Amino acid sequence: MSVNLRDEMAVFGIKEAPIMDISCDDLEWQENAVIGIGAFASVYRGTLKIEEGVQPLRVALKVWKEELNEATASGFLSETETLRKLNHQFIVKFYGAALHKEGDRLRTILVMELCTENLRSHIFRHKSKVPGQSSTPTAARNVIGWAKDIADALKYIHRQGIVHRDLKLENILLSLGNVAKVADVGVSKEAKAITGTMTGTPMYLAPEVMKSCIYDYKADVYSFGIMLWEMWYGKRAHLDLVGDVKEFYDKVLEGARPAHVEGSKKPPIGLRDLMQDCWDKKPDNRPDATKCHKKLTQLYQDAVAPY
């Protein structure tokens, strides 16, 4: 059942709500077409009707578990507002929002670009795709190319004054055309609004986030450095430190960082140096996303150059 978003938001005391982008009548999905299930939402494969006589668009539908009410309405609006701001070729495309009515309950649906899988599962499942294990240069070219595009998206996000706050391989998706795209940007936050709240996944957290200090976009750069290591070696970072979270934080704050994996090929010196620069303990010593993108562009050109 299609519902008017502006009218429903007014019920919750929110006067400035966006006009409904998408009618629920134009969406189709099956409960068994699930892509992933999270704590707050489930994601399904579905279709979006564009116009009569045109093939429906294949999309991903993020259906929130909690019903829309006075307590959740502002959070929904905040996420959609961020998604509308961020339009970039290496960010998962946001098509719009819909409201789905089930009896007396209203649930929100975010309509997103359909991707095939996340980068972690794509690289980790196949030894041939892991640069540190592969016997061909293709794996290194692909990984450096994806890293370059992720840095490009991160550069754009930061220029909008926004910090992602949960950058990790699970939040990098591969499109139907095998292009790496940053996802979960809806949980991002304006840098000026960050007050030291700890958000993100422990193994990717920058030291300043662990200490609940005020932080900025350089926290994303730290996470990006950890991602680069994982993309090269095809392993989770800090597996040797897994255990009590507090002990893990203490070791990272003391300087523990991912090391070379014995039996694997070492990354190019330029990539190794970039990893180490990104996860420097001091935020001011880390490069910004623009410098990361520039360095990775150079490394990618070297990787694709004929011998």
Annotated binding site: 62, 171, 184
Do the Cβ atoms of 216 and 195 come closer than 8 Å?
Answer: no
Annotated binding site for Mg(2+): 171, 184
Told to judge if 166 belongs to the known catalytic residues of this protein, a careful annotator would answer yes
Going by C-alpha positions, the residue among 225, 228, 53, 72 that lies closest to residue 146 is 228
Taking the C-alpha atoms of residue 198 and residue 211, their distance in angstroms, rounded to an integer, is 8
Taking the C-alpha atoms of residue 104 and residue 194, their distance in angstroms, rounded to an integer, is 36
User: What are 34's strand-pairing partners?
Assistant: 44
From the candidates 166, 273, 280, 302, which is the catalytic residue? 166
Could you give the C-alpha distances from 247 to 203, 239, 251, 252, in angstroms and in order? 12, 13, 6, 9
Taking the C-alpha atoms of residue 239 and residue 161, their distance in angstroms, rounded to an integer, is 33
- The letter for the amino acid at 202 is P
User: What are 97's strand-pairing partners?
Assistant: 110
Do the Cβ atoms of 67 and 105 come closer than 8 Å?
Answer: yes
Annotated binding site for ATP: 62
Write out the catalytic residue numbers. 166
